[in-house]
Amino acid sequence: MEVKVKIADMAVLKNSGLLVTVGLGSCVGIALYEAKLKLGGLAHILLSTSEHLSAEKRKDMNPAKFADTAIPHLIDNMKQEGARPQNIVAKIAGGSQLFEVSQEEMRVGNRNVEAVRQKLADCSIPLVAEDVGGNYGRTMKLDVSTGEVYISTVGRELKVL
Amino acid sequence: MVPDKSELTPEQQDMLRELVNIGIGNATTSLSRMLSNEKVTMEVPEVEVIPLQEVNEYVEQEKAIAAVFFEAYSDEFSLVLMFVVPVDSALTLANKVLQAESSSLGEMERSALMEVGNIVTSSYLNALSDMTGITFQPSTPSLAVDMAAAIFGTVMVTTGLVDDHLILCQTALETEKDNISGNIFVFPYQGLGYMFELMGVS
């Protein structure tokens, strides 16, 4: 089974199958895994923080859009499936710069990666592997039976985290 | 900001289609001129309001593409423009413009593509200015060659097009002889209400 995670989206899957998110540029993919339960979660975030949003906008916002809201939300979703937070580890990918002259883009990619690292630390989730930065897009697949993360790109070899 | 209702009236859709149509007529003419007057055909623009999450569903996600994008600002109305071609078309296009026969997208080919993207998108913008009387301030164009989904996501994030819905205007182009295919995407993102009012469809 393959479950697709779109932009600003997240999903949880148990026992076997792949969680897949295609095309991480400046966005960051966050794979969380609880080995004992063979339980995986994957989020595809666009931006680092939701802090600028008004209280009203916050009410019906999509938490998967921002690093600071996506990570706690994904942890909660995994808890509902029986995960213990202290058993969860993280692997992340993305935060690259695709366009040649965009200063703003470089800032966005870096900021996203930094925000994800910070939020994982805040939630006491160890970051065990990452494939971030560079100037190319990535597709990320989490195999929930093993916890392995596969990174594919255009014209580069498959990488396993 | 896209209207919360995330719906456009049929009149508003027509207006946007017309707005896109006029600009793209101009853009195809300048593309044709760069290709020694080869005939370029365009399809009727598609205008849709889509959830942000669906933006990548409109492209072959893992296919490698070349994309030139820039933003055009004005006090009244702003938009993001993208000129997108599959890599094989990008190479044909670059070779045609450079009158060369390169087999890969190197430095020269990339500059040529950037130039083509620049000319195509600015001629689009000129037509839009003529029609609306708005003077746009374009940002520096930027080129990327990578998987389609990564490029679209990155453009959305970089330009701040991250509301829950966005308006996608897409027009397909094709050249007659060389089978160069491409798409022009227009994403209006600010002052749409002003534009509707200006065109009498608010």
- B69-109 per-position pLDDT tens digit: 888 888 888 889 999 999 999 999 999 989 999 999 999 99
pLDDT at B56 over 90: no
Quote the CA–CA distance of B12 and A133 in Å, as a whole number.
Answer: 41
ipTM for this prediction: 0.85
So which residues of A are the catalytic ones?
27
Percentage above 70 pLDDT, chain B: 97
pLDDT at position A105 is 59
Q: Which residues of B touch A154 (CB under 8 A)?
A: 62, 64, 146-147
pLDDT at position A71 is 97
Q: What is the pLDDT of residues A4-35, one digit of tens each?
A: 999 999 999 999 999 999 999 999 999 999 99
CA-nearest of B136, B154, B145, B158 to B19 is B136
CA angle B93/B16/B35 to nearest 5° reads 15
Q: Could you tell me the CATH number of the domain that includes residue B176? A: 3.40.1550.10
B94 in any annotated domain? no
Interface test mutation site (partner A, options B63, B110, B142, B158, max chain A beta carbons within 10 A): B158
Q: How confident is the model at residue B58 (pLDDT cuts 50, 70, 90)?
A: confident
CA-nearest of B182, B199, B181, B179 to B191 is B199
Q: State the DSSP code for B45.
A: P
Quote the CA–CA distance of B73 and B78 in Å, as a whole number.
Answer: 4
Segment (H or E) for B147: strand B142-147
B72 in any annotated domain? yes
CA-nearest of B159, B183, B168, B156 to B49 is B168
Taking CB atoms and an 8 Å cut-off, how many pairs form between chains A and B? 98
Q: How confident is the model at residue A159 (pLDDT cuts 50, 70, 90)?
A: very high
Tokens of B38: 């080869």
pLDDT at A117 over 90: yes
Of residues B142 and B56, more confidence is placed in B142
| pTM: predicted TM-score of the whole model, two decimal places | 0.88
By Cβ distance, the residue of A25, A153, A154 closest to B153 is A25
Q: What is the pLDDT of residues B6-24, one digit of tens each?
A: 578 888 888 888 888 888 8
pLDDT at B5 over 50: no
Interface test mutation site (partner B, options A5, A22, A106, max chain B beta carbons within 10 A): A22
pLDDT at position A66 is 93
B150 in any annotated domain? yes
Domain span at B25: 5-85+119-198
Q: How confident is the model at residue B4 (pLDDT cuts 50, 70, 90)?
A: very low
Q: Which amino acid is at A70?
A: A
pLDDT at position B60 is 75
B25 in any annotated domain? yes
pLDDT at position B90 is 92
Tally of domains in chain B: 1
Percentage above 90 pLDDT, chain A: 78
Q: What is the pLDDT of residues B126-185, one digit of tens each?
A: 888 888 888 888 888 889 999 999 999 888 888 888 788 888 888 898 998 888 898 889
B60 in any annotated domain? yes
pLDDT at position B170 is 87
Work out the minimum CA distance from B194 to partner chain A, whole angstroms: 23
pLDDT at A42 over 50: yes
DSSP lists the bridge partners of residue B171 as: B184
B90 in any annotated domain? no
Quote the CA–CA distance of A125 and A133 in Å, as a whole number.
Answer: 21
B80 in any annotated domain? yes
Of residues B23 and A69, more confidence is placed in A69
CA distances from B169 to A91, B154, B186, B191 (A): 36, 18, 5, 16
Asked which of A74-78, A83-87, B141-145, B194-198 is least confident by mean pLDDT, the reply is B194-198
pLDDT at B120 over 60: yes
B99 in any annotated domain? no
